[in-house]
Each structure stands twice: as C-alpha cells, then as structure tokens.
C-alpha cells in the first residue's frame, strides 16, 4: 500500500501507532507538511460563495452517501425483491430507492475525488480508496440482488444503469489514486507569512487529528483546549 509523503493530519492520526506516546511537535510537523494542500483548497473555497455555503452540507450528504447502496439493497429486499414483507412497497418505489441510493453514493465518491484531482500536489489518500472500496463492495451486493431477482417484476435495464455508473465511478477513483498520486512533498509554507484565516485553516486541520487522539486516549479532555490553542 502506498504512503503519502505529506499525509492529511487526520488520516495520519488514524494510522499512527497507538502505542506511541502523543507528541505535539510531531503532529505540528505533519500539519506543516500538508499545509500547502489545505491552504490551496481553502482559498479555492473562499473564491466560490456556493462552495462556502454548501461545504458542511455536502460533507454530511457524502457521509450518508457511502451507505446509499446498502439503503437501496435493504429496501429492495424488504420491499419485494425476494419476499413481499409489506404491501406498502411497490416495484416502482424500489426502483426509485435504487436510483436515490446510487446517486448518493456517487456524490460521496465525487466529494472526495474532485478536490483531490484539483489539488496541484495529489498525495496518496487512504480515505479516498477506503471510501470508494466500500461503495464498490456494497454496489456489487446491490447488483447481485438485482440480477438474482425476478426479471418480470424488475426489468434489468432501468434498474442497473445507475448502479453500474456508481460502481464504475468508485473503481475509477481507486485507480486514479493509485496512478495519479505523487510521491513528492508539496512546497513548504512560510508560517510567518500566513494570514489569520490561513492559520485558522491549519488549526482546524490539526483539531481533527487532536480529536482522533482524544478518542484514542492519547490526549486528555482537560488538555485538549490548551493543545488546540498552542502555536503551530
């Protein structure tokens, strides 16, 4: 498995050996190594009002979207794909759920893939691969359910089109991560030249990693605030 030359702080915190004691200096170095990428993305968002408003909403849509194929599979099975558990479900409703689940899953993949592709220094992203792989696996399960259901009740063509598109998109994201990532570190950022807004972007990135360390028990709740306010 490739390793990022400048990993995202939160991703690095998740993969770091939990038996090693917490080192703020080590975390700060990771934040500074990834600073160029974080600031590049933040400045792009600032230049687009729509991105600023929709950033938080899109995050939750993407988070829910990873479960889209599972949601569709659950509705399909319980709604009559194999057994008719409820008369409230119709074949039309199940088809709609498959489209909704596939669209949400595709949005989840694109949420992580597009910013990564736009970055001028694409680092290996374990998050992109893991999320895309999860979508691909659940999409394959959904395809299996569709192809083994009654073809008379559930015509194949309208149902499998969005599912195949989602599967192709998730595989494309995985291949892109493997083929297009760089092994070089991004340029160093002069911390003394950063604005207050830029510093806050890096603090937010470090805060995500600190929260992970807190859940791992490496950072206490009482010291979290002091560490969060400490210089970079």
pLDDT of residue 89: 43
Range of the domain at 59: 25-229
Q: What is the mean pLDDT of the chain?
A: 84
With respect to residue 184, please indicate whether it lies within any of the assigned structural domains: yes
pTM of the full predicted structure? 0.79
Average pLDDT over residues 27-51: 82
* 177 has a pLDDT exceeding 70: yes
In this structure, of 82-96, 109-123, 175-189, the range with the lowest mean pLDDT score is 82-96
The proportion of the chain whose per-residue pLDDT surpasses 90, expressed as a percent, equals: 33
In sequence order, which residues have a C-beta less than 8 Å from that of residue 159 and are 6 or more positions away?
Answer: 95, 98, 146
Average pLDDT over residues 38-52: 72
92 against 191, higher pLDDT: 191
40 against 156, higher pLDDT: 40
83: left (phi over 0), alpha (psi -120 to 50) or beta: beta
With respect to residue 34, please indicate whether it lies within any of the assigned structural domains: yes
Instruction: Report the number of distinct structural domains present in the chain.
Output: 1
Question: Given pLDDT bands bounded at 50, 70 and 90, which one contains residue 127?
Answer: confident
Average pLDDT over residues 143-170: 84
In this structure, of 47-56, 89-98, 151-160, the range with the lowest mean pLDDT score is 47-56
* 83 has a pLDDT exceeding 50: no
With respect to residue 3, please indicate whether it lies within any of the assigned structural domains: no
What tokens does 74 get? 């659950």
Phi, psi dihedral angles at 19 (to 5 degrees): -85, -15
pLDDT of residue 53: 53
With respect to residue 17, please indicate whether it lies within any of the assigned structural domains: no
* 149 has a pLDDT exceeding 80: no
CA distance 206 to 166: 32
What tokens does 93 get? 């409703």
pLDDT of residue 85: 38
CA distance 129 to 16: 18
With respect to residue 195, please indicate whether it lies within any of the assigned structural domains: yes
Q: To 10 degrees, the CA torsion angle through 21, 22, 23, 27?
A: 140
Question: Given pLDDT bands bounded at 50, 70 and 90, which one contains residue 43?
Answer: confident
84 against 141, higher pLDDT: 141
With respect to residue 11, please indicate whether it lies within any of the assigned structural domains: no
With respect to residue 2, please indicate whether it lies within any of the assigned structural domains: no
With respect to residue 31, please indicate whether it lies within any of the assigned structural domains: yes
In this structure, of 20-24, 38-42, 145-149, the range with the lowest mean pLDDT score is 145-149
**CA atoms within 13 A of residue 225's CA, in its CB half-sphere:** 1
Give residue 185's Cα distance to chain centre.
22
CA distance to 24, 73, 114, 227, per residue, from 221 (Å): 15, 40, 35, 10
In this structure, of 152-166, 171-185, 211-225, the range with the lowest mean pLDDT score is 152-166
First-to-last C-alpha distance (Å) of the chain: 30
* 170 has a pLDDT exceeding 80: yes
């Amino acid at each position: 498995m490739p390793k990022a030359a400048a990993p995202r702080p939160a991703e690095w915190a998740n993969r770091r050996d939990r038996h090693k004691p917490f080192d703020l200096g080590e975390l700060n170095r990771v934040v500074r190594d990834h600073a160029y990428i974080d600031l590049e993305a933040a400045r792009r968002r600032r230049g687009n009002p729509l991105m600023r408003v929709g950033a938080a909403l899109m995050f939750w849509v993407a988070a829910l979207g990873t479960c889209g194929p599972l949601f569709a599979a659950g509705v399909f099975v319980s709604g009559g794909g194999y057994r008719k558990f409820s008369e409230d479900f119709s074949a039309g409703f199940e088809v709609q759920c498959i489209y909704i689940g596939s669209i949400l899953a595709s949005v989840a993949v694109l949420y992580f893939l597009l910013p990564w592709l736009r970055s001028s220094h694409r680092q290996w992203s374990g998050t992109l691969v893991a999320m895309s792989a999860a979508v691909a696996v659940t999409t394959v399960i959904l395809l299996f359910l569709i192809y083994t259901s009654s073809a008379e009740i559930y015509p194949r063509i309208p149902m499998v089109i969005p599912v195949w598109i989602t599967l192709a998109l998730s595989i494309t994201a995985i291949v892109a991560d493997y083929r297009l990532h760089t092994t070089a570190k991004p340029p160093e950022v002069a911390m003394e030249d950063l604005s207050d807004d830029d510093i806050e972007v890096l603090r937010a990135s470090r805060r995500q990693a600190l929260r992970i360390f807190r859940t791992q028990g490496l950072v206490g709740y009482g010291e979290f605030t002091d560490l969060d306010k400490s210089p970079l």
